[in-house]
Amino acid sequence: MRARLLAVGAGLLVLALIVAGLLWWRSARLTDLQRATALAPPDAQRLTWTDWSAVRQKLGVNVGSGSGTPQVESFLDKGFQADLTSTSALLQSATTLHEKYGFSPATLEWELLSQSHQGAVILMRTPDSFDFEALADRLESLGYDPPQSDTGVWEGGGDVLAEISPDLTPELSHVALDADRQLIVTSDRAGYLDHAMDTVTGDADGLEGFDDILEATGEPLSAAIYSGTIACQALAMSSADQADQDQAKELIEAAGEVNPVTAFSMSVQPGRDIRVVLGFENDDQAKVNADTRSVLARGPAPGQGGDFSDRFTVDRVTAEGSLVTLALDPVPGEYVLSDLSSGPVLFATC
């Protein structure tokens, strides 16, 4: 009997080690974008990503916590000119954050803005050396009310922000800290931030439904990622004037069948090329739409002006499974991500 129990125990131990190994292997394969998105609230429908560490490296800019405001502003100007920072929610607030809060795009590892109909949160990953105790002291001195727990909500509000600086975005009204995960999380609504922290700490399920499109998006410097519902609103031709809508209708009829997207991402890749990923209900729709979207992406850009070829060339369009990927090479000096991550965008139409 004892030998049998020992054998069973050994078997369970081996099984546990295998499961742990598989979980570690899966986690190791995830990109920072995938890890960040897993921390977003489950109702998120619009995500914007900025890999600040990679942006600084790509621009060859050496800024940090000891940099002065002119250096931070110069870095942000270079990032804007390179079309690498339009997805950030922190640009307007950056210098105030750097001077008064002790963190900013000059020091953060990455930033993810998550938006839904219920609220918005900004998740920010700090370097391992970041001093969370010092940040807590700063928040209290700035007028935020301390929470009852380590990962609770520091409540501020509009009056507190106005007292600090008129440049601060409302999403910095309330703050939560998770030193174990090196995260700063903020929101314009204290209740929504408290709800979001349940996901961050693992007490509630995170965002689902974006796995395929996130994997296809890769490891971008910056990205805009939408659910199908939001993509079909934000990028719709209905936001164009009537003449542009009429032209768009003719172009779509000539190009072929168009199906609604189930998810969408547009990103700047490490090589500074643009990657667009569109999700569809099934493989057949993806194959059909690969041809249609390829034609539309090479033609006129009603609602944007001129032709898409004024902004980029289409290197290739592929269909894999239920996803269509467009690889675009930006024309020098064009702001493809910032211009085309909001509508109307004909090749992303539903």
| pLDDT tens-place string over residues 111-167 | 999 999 999 999 999 999 999 999 999 999 999 999 999 999 999 999 999 999 999
Mean pLDDT of all residues in the chain? 92
Per-residue confidence (pLDDT) for residue 29, from 0 to 100: 76
0.85 exceeded by pTM: yes
Q: Quick one: pLDDT band at residue 24, thresholds 50, 70, 90?
A: very low
Q: What is the band of 202 on the pLDDT scale with cuts at 50, 70, 90?
A: very high
Domain assignment present for 105: yes
In a domain, 276, yes or no: yes
User: What local confidence, expressed as pLDDT, does residue 12 receive?
Assistant: 42
The count of structural domains within the chain is: 2
133 with 190, same domain: the answer is yes
Kindly report which listed range (5-14, 83-92, 336-345) carries the lowest average pLDDT score: 5-14
Residue type, 10: A
174 and 288 housed in the same domain: no
Give me the domain span that covers residue 249: 211-348
Does the pLDDT of residue 301 top 90, yes or no?
yes
Residues 192 and 217 in one domain: no
Are residues 293 and 245 both part of a single domain? yes
pLDDT digits (tens, 9 = 90+) for 228-273: 999 999 999 999 999 999 999 999 999 999 999 999 999 999 999 9
Q: 128 and 57 share a domain?
A: yes
Question: Is it the case that residue 13 has pLDDT exceeding 90?
Answer: no
Give residue 320's pLDDT band: very low, low, confident or very high (50, 70, 90): very high
Structure tokens at 43: 């109702």
Q: How far is CA 173 from CA 160, 207, 238, in A?
A: 8, 23, 34
| Cα separation, 31 vs 109, whole angstroms | 13
38 alpha-carbon distance from chain centroid: 11
Is the Cβ–Cβ distance between 212 and 322 less than 8 Å?
A: yes
Q: For residue 19, what pLDDT is reported?
A: 27
